[in-house]
Amino acid sequence: MAAEEPLLRVEHVTRSFPRPRAEGGGLLHACDDVTFDLGREGAEIVSLVGESGSGKTTLARLILGLDRVDGGHIRYRGRSLATLGARDWLAHRREVQAVFQDPYGIYNPFYQVDRVLEQPLRRFRLASGRADERRRMEEALGAVDLRPADVLGRFPHQLSGGERQRIMLARLYLIRPRLIVADEPVSMIDAALRTMFLNILLDLRQEGMSCLFITHNLQTAFYLGGRCLVLYRGRLVEAGQVDDILSHPAHPYTRMLMDSVPSADPGQRWKDEIPARAVESGQAPLPTACAFVDRCPAAMAICRAERPRLRQTHTGQHAACFLYDPAHTGLGDANRTPQACPDTLVGG
Ligand SMILES: Nc1ncnc2c1ncn2[C@@H]1O[C@H](COP(=O)(O)OP(=O)(O)OP(=O)(O)O)[C@@H](O)[C@H]1O
Ligand SMILES: [Mg+2]
């Protein structure tokens, strides 16, 4: 990997699905020209937030290689996934690991949960023998506060959702991937376990593992810190340091996500959960307009005529909104020095 290559680069990625005729037919752009980097300067956690249907899981599946892009590229360590051969995919599957909301689906109900830990050890040849396998499994379970005697030898249905999720974390300890793609991993577990889960991710980052963390819960993104990407109807509408976005949400959509009631506790200024709303029930956004225009209190004529690109705001993050383009607002405010977002970097 060239020194300047980020671990992951999502480059103008588009993925569309046919829309049912009852909804007007045509194509639904689940991901629409999405560009961002992750891990340019060492391991990092980037949160991806957006309401239901905004394209988060679609993006996760593309990065994991479970689906293919229609346009653009996903580059992992500098190489487009479209060019990987069978051996490269084995390495990719080891280095890029998924954690899903409820991992029940990846457990085979007929096998003891041990298999979830044994399989990667064998597939990726990580242990030197049976005894080493057992030692590694016990060590990994200990790292996530599980007693081997409580979980090994059991079947998936005999464990709680939190225990199943912790075993997935233990699996990460065993595999030590470079990139974790976590899709709503804490939305079904209780608050104490949620904190533990997030702390483990922060520890893993210290050990050199990066993470794309998908969440509806903006407080979770705040807890993790680092960079945050806001996705709306398949498009990135805001990107930057989560602290900057928290204190000065730039895009009207991001502002809408914030609690309107001011609070002394900055962590409490986020709405707890983004409402799950069927945003696709209306007309598909025009390719030549802002996707938020119909809901935007600040919409201008230009917002219906042109698609806004990510531009840097005066508070440091990037927002895809003409409010940050003096050519359209006519503000010419010296404090606003928007620049087109460099193609190579969003945030960072
Ligand atoms: N295989 C598919 N076929 C048709 N439409 C799809 C397919 N996968 C996703 N979609 C549509 O793409 C859009 C984005 O879906 P996606 O699952 O990525 O959203 P999400 O942000 O993960 O939502 P949630 O927060 O509810 O998990 C949705 O409108 C969804 O119905
Ligand atoms: Mg999803």
Residues with CB under 6 A from ligand 1: 17, 28, 30, 50, 52-58, 280
Residues contacting residue 320 through CB under 8 Å, at least 6 positions apart: 235, 236, 237, 238, 251, 290, 307, 308, 309, 310, 311
Specify the pLDDT at position 17.
95
Which atom of ligand 1 lies at the shortest distance from residue 55's CA?
A: 18
pLDDT of residue 219: 85
Tokens at residue 328, please? 């359209």
In the chain, the N- to C-terminal Cα span, in Å, equals: 19
- The SS3 call for residue 218 is helix
Q: Starting from the edge strand earliest in sequence, which strands make up the sheet with 27-38, in order?
A: 27-38, 8-18, 71-76, 79-80
> Could you identify the residue written with the tokens 């949960």?
113
The pLDDT tens digits along the chain (348 residues) read 555 789 999 999 999 999 888 877 888 999 999 999 999 999 999 999 998 899 999 999 999 999 999 999 999 999 999 999 999 999 999 999 999 887 667 778 889 999 999 999 999 999 999 999 999 999 999 999 999 999 999 999 999 888 888 999 999 999 999 999 999 888 777 888 889 889 999 999 999 999 999 998 888 899 999 999 999 999 999 999 999 998 889 999 998 887 533 444 545 455 555 554 434 445 667 788 999 998 898 899 999 999 999 999 988 899 999 998 877 765 444 344 444 444 443 433
Question: From ligand 1's centre to the CA of 56, what distance in Å?
Answer: 8
The protein residue with its alpha carbon nearest to ligand 1, atom 16, reads 55
For 316: left if phi > 0, alpha if psi spans -120 to 50, otherwise beta; the answer is: left
Ligand 1 centre from 65 Cα, in Å? 16
The tokens of 269 are what? 């200024």
Closest to 64 (Cα-Cα) out of 207, 183, 192, 221 = 183
pTM: 0.88
**Which pLDDT score, from 0 to 100, does residue 150 have?**
93
Q: Which residues pair with 176 in a beta bridge?
A: none
d(CA 160, CA 211): 25
Pocket-testing residue among 14, 15, 48, 57, ligand 1, by greatest number of atoms within 8 A of Cβ: 57
| Per-position b or e across 130-152, b if 16+ CB within 10 A of its CB | eeebbebbbebbebbebebeebb
Task: Provide the pLDDT for residue 260.
Answer: 38
